[in-house]
Chains A and B, each alone.
Chain A
Amino acid sequence: MEIEARANPMDKYLRADRIPHIWCSGCGLGIVLNAFLHAIEELNIDLDKLAVVSGIGCTGRIAGYINTDSYHTTHGRAIPFATGLKLANPEMKVVVISGDGDLFAIGGNHFIHAARRNIDITVIGVNNYNYGMTGGQLGPTTPLGARTTTSPYGNIEHPFNLCHVAHAAGAVYVARWTVLHAIRLKNSIKEALNKRGFSFIEVIAACPTTYGRRNKMPDALDEMRFYREHSVIKHGIDPSQANIEIGKEIVVGKFVDIEKPTFNEAVEELKKKVKKK
């Protein structure tokens, strides 16, 4: 027999009084949060040495559910906030978890420059192909042809391939998973948390309520089945070859894992050099 329980062992990492969370049935965000919590548990990370920063959006609510220092910043500004936090507290692990719109529309400049400077933070970008929170407008990752509230006849704007953007801007670790790859996602988050420098993980997640229902996947389970049948793992592939198009295979995997001095390290080097003079 199954056993009825009142609490989940992961509740110790949650602000459990806020659970059940606000996300819709089948929304992928709960899986992202769960994978993240399992990653910090397995790495045995001291919660006093961890900060989670989010922007605005359904994804932005993640920070508010984690029982650690967490910040729900203004729209698009999670990365500059995290950058300051990391520079002032180099011993802390600083993680940004936010949505495609928050990180790549209003916050797009912050993303590319944090990657370029190799700021030592981890960014988990949840791509649900639209602005979920505000009713399903098209955003910078909406696939060509997709229907949203602001593209009722199909999207005509070319989307960003987020992993390609991250790679081109200089990220030292770039991976993509769907929420169906929950265990691989968790393992990837562990790698990213241990990586020195700017690490980026794109997570493809279902938003049945505002995106799926306008794009022939009203049930999150349909989208999860699509991931099962149409995702292919291609580790090490050039991210420019991993565009996302409607109905086509979704390429997932770890695309980039390189070494480069971080911004913090460069500052320390510079301090030494200047003192010698």
Chain B
Amino acid sequence: MTYWVEEEEKKVHGKVYIIKDRCKQCGFCIEFCPQGVLQQSEEFNAKGYHPPKLVETDEKKCVGCGFCQMICPDFAIFVEKEEENEERD
């Protein structure tokens, strides 16, 4: 019998959205993401710029801080926060 309830820890992740054709390849989101989540893609957009993409290694690395969204001069990237319930070890 247990006398306590396992507490759930909420981890916050971010879902990154990119509007590729708005990007002008300034590189700010890539440089200033505190988690190093973004990198330049090889792909060209309509204006001939390379929009960013996620670094593939860790899907959950984005913490949803929203800084990329604040620092993008072109309204080309935004983030939705999602909370995930994880059992504590």
Contacts and interface: CB of A to CB of B under 8 A. Distances in A.
Given A2-B54, A38-B70, A220 B75 contact: no
Contact of B28 (A6, A20, A186, A221): A221
A1 B54 contact: yes
A242 B49 CA distance: 38
A193 to B, nearest CB: 17
Contacts of B15: 3
Interface residues on B, range: 20 to 34
Interface string B21-41: 110111110011000000000
The interface centre, meaning the residue of A6, A8, A24, A38 with most chain B CB atoms within 10 A of its CB, is A8
B22 A19 contact: yes
A107 interface: no
Contact of A221 (B22, B27, B78): B27
Contact of A30 (B19, B52, B53, B72): B72
B32 A29 contact: no
A70 to B, nearest CB: 17
Contact of B75 (A34, A183, A186): A34
A16 B52 CA distance: 21
B67 interface: yes
B59 A1 contact: yes
Contact of B18 (A3, A9, A183): A3
Dominant secondary structure at the A interface: mixed
Interface in B67-89: 67, 69-76, 78
A182 interface: yes
Contact of A8 (B19, B49, B70): B19
B19 A3 contact: no
B27 A31 contact: no
A180 B27 contact: no
A28 interface: yes
B63 interface: no
A35 interface: yes
B17 interface: yes
Contact of A26 (B22, B67, B73): B73
B28 A26 contact: yes
A7 B19 contact: yes
A182 B24 contact: no
A20 B22 contact: yes
A7 B22 CA distance: 10
Interface of A: 1-11, 14, 19-21, 23-31, 34-35, 38, 179-180, 182-183, 186, 220-221, 224-225, 228
8 contacts: A6-B19, A8-B19, A24-B24, A29-B73, A31-B70, A35-B70, A182-B71, A221-B31
